[in-house]
């Protein structure tokens, strides 16, 4: 009899391997691919799961990295690889927190965990045996099918509870990844209101690991959440632009509970950032706990909510285990409703993903097919999304500045973001583009001193110091009446402004050189040189209030001097550039002799000079004799 039993067993395995649907799949039709299954054991060393020492100070010898036991279902080529049973999936529950071989101890721990769930506590030994013997379509380590397939990040959890959905999707051309729900550290419960970031990071680790899978299309990703996993799936859509669809299977993602409130405090949380279609399936019993404002807040997403009205449905009926229990003889009174829900949520999930990740028109039509009276449906079309920050900065990085500027005007981007983008352009030598980017900030924030100061920096870099000074003076005006910016920040802005108003050596050198030539011409009493350095409308005022025209000045230099001037020097220069004009204030020391007596005078002199046709000319001046002379 032994050969006969072996032959029968091999026949069952072969039938599963080559596409005969096992009972655990119910009425679901497999796709054209066989289903492969792999367990990837990895560690996340950026998040230690165990502390370095125990409470007695002894070094731990265990692997301290966070254990990441990732289940992968994938489209496979036909093979004789062994098919898994539900019992094989249950075994995995006994070693979720440690990467160890699965022995009898792990199997006992797994069953203790599974049958501790309230819905499974009443299972008899016979029902347990039937449940664990159920065959699946997955083949361990089967060779992958050729090609690239969309990637599905499935809610963190146990493959023992949700195995048919990943298998079903894999048979229809998807790579599906799932890993257990772990606490933040060893010994921590897998769920508490303040570990959402841990679960989000676990989901992202799966995505990073997906780079090892040659058949996964990492630019075309869907996220499926069950229970608390709805928040993690939606978080993935908020953070990753390669997520193109989200499926919520009886999740708490819209609950306004403690965990939900905590979730909303994370920097990445933004309902506006959800810009992909969302399918939300939920039991009527949970609807009162939902915050409708959250659903409405996803205004950039096409949203479909399907409410399952049957009050007898359980949370686990949106996982494989709910239907599997009925095959083992449990829950007979609701078996028909559970079977219908199982088939419907799986088909809806496949059609939704096919429509949005593969552009399948048939699937899109199927989503609009009439529903039974036991399901209430609502559909909301999202608004066309405006560009996001990444769109703008990516366009800048690749040199598409016109597109970036157009997008930036459509988006209410933070002032500091545009500011940084402008300085990135400035730093890369793209000065005209930087001016255009900073101008957007000035237009959007006309009361911001910092926006004007930044635009002034760009004009200064372009060589237009006249425009830079004009903008800097406007920045001063705005800063003086600013009552909200912290004092330390205002001081930093003011220092930056003053740099534009204080002439650089390159600006001041031509002016000082002109003053030196003017002084030299006067010392030599060179009337022709003086005529070329004074403007025709030049005038000078004396300390007594008298005014001298250019002719008056030239006549004074033509007359014999009352004293012999030997030198004229200046120091203590103060220069203010005003574009093509400058104000120069300085102390002038004149030394000479009167007869044989040494003679010396000191004056405070102010010149207004202007650049006309490329040449500096003195426009007017004033002199005051310093005290004590």
Q: How many domains does the chain have?
A: 3
3-state SS assignment for residue 375 = strand
Please state the rounded mean pLDDT for residues 49-55.
Answer: 95
Closest CA to 139 of 39, 36, 40: 36
Q: Specify whether 474 is located in the same domain as 544.
A: no
* Residues 302 and 204 grouped into a single domain: yes
Q: What is the pLDDT of residue 507?
A: 66
Q: If residue 364 lies in a helix (H) or strand (E), which one and from where to where?
A: helix 361-367
Residue 218 has pLDDT above 70, yes or no: yes
Give the domain CATH number at 69. Answer: 3.40.50.1820
* Domain shared by 495 and 523, yes or no: no
Q: Provide the terminal-to-terminal Cα distance of the chain, rounded to the nearest Å.
A: 132
Tell me, yes or no, whether 72 and 213 share the same domain: yes
Report long-range pairs for 100-103 (Cβ below 8 Å, ≥24 apart).
none
CA angle (566, 568, 570) in 5-degree steps? 155
404 and 448 belong to one structural domain = yes
Domain identity same for 224 and 245:
yes
Please identify, among 325, 359, 380, the residue that sits at the C-terminal boundary of a domain.
380
Lowest mean pLDDT among 180-194, 206-220, 238-252: 180-194
Mean pLDDT of the chain: 90
- Average pLDDT score over residue span 400-427: 81
* 288-312: average pLDDT: 96
Among 121-130, 217-226, 562-571, name the one with the lowest average pLDDT: 562-571
Domain of 367 in residue numbering reads as: 2-380
Q: In what order do the strands lie in the sheet with 564-577?
A: 547-549, 534-541, 615-625, 597-612, 581-594, 564-577
380, 403, 418 - which closes a domain:
380
Q: Beta strands 83-85 and 216-226: pairing type? A: unpaired
- Give me the CATH number covering residue 430: 1.25.40.10
Which pLDDT band, with edges at 50, 70 and 90, does 16 fall under?
very low
- CATH, residue 618: 3.10.450.50
Examine the domain organization and report whether 361 and 496 are in the same domain: no
Residues 99 and 104: their CA atoms lie apart, in Å, by: 15
User: pLDDT digits over 451-499, tens only?
Assistant: 999 999 999 888 887 888 899 999 999 999 988 889 888 898 988 888 7
Mean pLDDT throughout 62-69? 95
3-state secondary structure labels for all residues of 403-425: HHHHHHHHCCCCHHHHHHHHHHH
Do 484 and 365 have their domain in common? no
What is the structure's pLDDT at 5? 32
Residues 215 and 297 in one domain: yes
Residues 430, 370 within the same domain: no
Asked if residue 393 and residue 412 are part of one domain, the reply reads yes
Domain termination site, one of 349, 380, 411? 380
Nearest 5°: the CA angle 525, 531, 533 is 95
**What pLDDT shows up at residue 18?**
45
Query: Do 493 and 516 share a structural domain?
Result: no
């Amino acid at each position: 009899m032994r050969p006969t039993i072996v032959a029968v067993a091999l026949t069952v395995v072969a039938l599963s391997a080559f596409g005969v649907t096992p009972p655990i799949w119910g009425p679901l039709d497999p796709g054209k691919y066989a289903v492969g299954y792999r367990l990837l054991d990895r560690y996340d060393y950026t998040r230690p799961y165990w502390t370095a020492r125990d409470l007695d100070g002894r070094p731990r010898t265990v692997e301290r990295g966070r254990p990441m036991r990732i289940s992968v279902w994938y489209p496979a080529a036909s093979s004789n690889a062994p098919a898994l049973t539900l019992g094989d999936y249950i075994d995995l529950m006994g070693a979720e927190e440690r990467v160890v071989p699965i022995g009898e101890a792990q199997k006992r721990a797994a069953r203790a965990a599974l049958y501790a769930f309230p819905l499974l506590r009443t299972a008899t030994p016979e029902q347990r045996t039937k449940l664990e013997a159920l065959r699946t379509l997955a083949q361990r380590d089967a060779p992958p099918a050729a090609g690239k397939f969309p990637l599905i990040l499935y809610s963190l959890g146990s493959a023992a509870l949700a195995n048919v959905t990943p298998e079903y999707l894999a048979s229809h051309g998807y790579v599906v990844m799932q890993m257990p729900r772990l606490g933040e550290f060893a010994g921590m419960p897998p769920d508490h209101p303040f570990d959402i970031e841990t679960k989000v990071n676990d989901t992202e680790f799966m995505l990073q690991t997906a780079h090892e899978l040659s058949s996964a299309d990492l630019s075309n990703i869907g996220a499926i959440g069950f229970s608390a996993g709805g928040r993690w799936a939606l978080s993935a859509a908020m953070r990753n632009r390669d997520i193109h669809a989200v499926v919520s299977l009886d999740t708490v993602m819209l609950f306004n509970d403690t965990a939900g409130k905590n979730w909303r405090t994370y920097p990445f949380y933004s309902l506006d950032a959800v810009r992909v279609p969302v399918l939300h399936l939920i039991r009527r019993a949970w609807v009162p706990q939902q915050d409708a404002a959250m659903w409405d807040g996803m205004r950039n997403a096409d949203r479909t909510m399907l409410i399952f009205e049957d009050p007898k449905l359980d949370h686990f009926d949106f996982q494989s285990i709910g239907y599997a229990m009925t095959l083992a003889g449990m829950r007979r009174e609701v078996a028909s409703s559970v079977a219908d829900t199982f088939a419907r949520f799986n088909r809806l999930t496949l059609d939704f993903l096919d429509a949005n990740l593969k552009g399948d028109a048939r699937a899109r039509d199927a989503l609009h097919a009439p529903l039974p009276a036991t399901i209430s449906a609502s559909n909301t079309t999202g608004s066309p999304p405006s560009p996001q920050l990444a769109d703008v900065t990516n366009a800048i990085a690749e040199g598409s500045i016109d597109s970036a500027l157009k997008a930036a005007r459509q988006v209410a981007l933070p002032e500091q973001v545009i500011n940084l983008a402008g300085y990135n352009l400035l730093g890369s030598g793209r000065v005209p583009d930087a001016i255009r980017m900073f101008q957007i900030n000035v237009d959007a924030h006309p009361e911001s001193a910092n926006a004007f100061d930044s635009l002034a920096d760009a004009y200064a870099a372009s060589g237009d110091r006249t425009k830079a000074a004009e903008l800097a003076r406007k920045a001063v005006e705005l800063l003086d009446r600013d009552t909200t910016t912290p004092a330390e920040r205002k001081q930093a802005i003011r220092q930056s402004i003053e740099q534009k108003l204080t002439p650089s050596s390159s600006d001041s050198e031509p002016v000082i050189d002109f003053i030196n030539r003017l002084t030299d011409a006067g010392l030599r009493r060179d009337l022709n040189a003086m005529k070329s350095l004074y403007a025709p409308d030049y005038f000078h005022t004396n300390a007594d209030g008298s005014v001298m025209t250019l002719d008056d000045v030239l006549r004074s230099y033509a007359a014999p001097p009352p004293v012999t001037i030997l030198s004229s020097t200046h120091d203590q220069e103060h220069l203010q550039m005003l574009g093509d004009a400058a104000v120069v204030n300085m102390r002038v020391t004149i030394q000479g002799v009167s007869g044989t007596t040494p003679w010396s005078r000191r004056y405070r002199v102010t010149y207004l000079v202007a650049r006309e046709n490329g040449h500096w000319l003195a426009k007017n001046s004033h002199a005051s004799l310093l005290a004590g002379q």
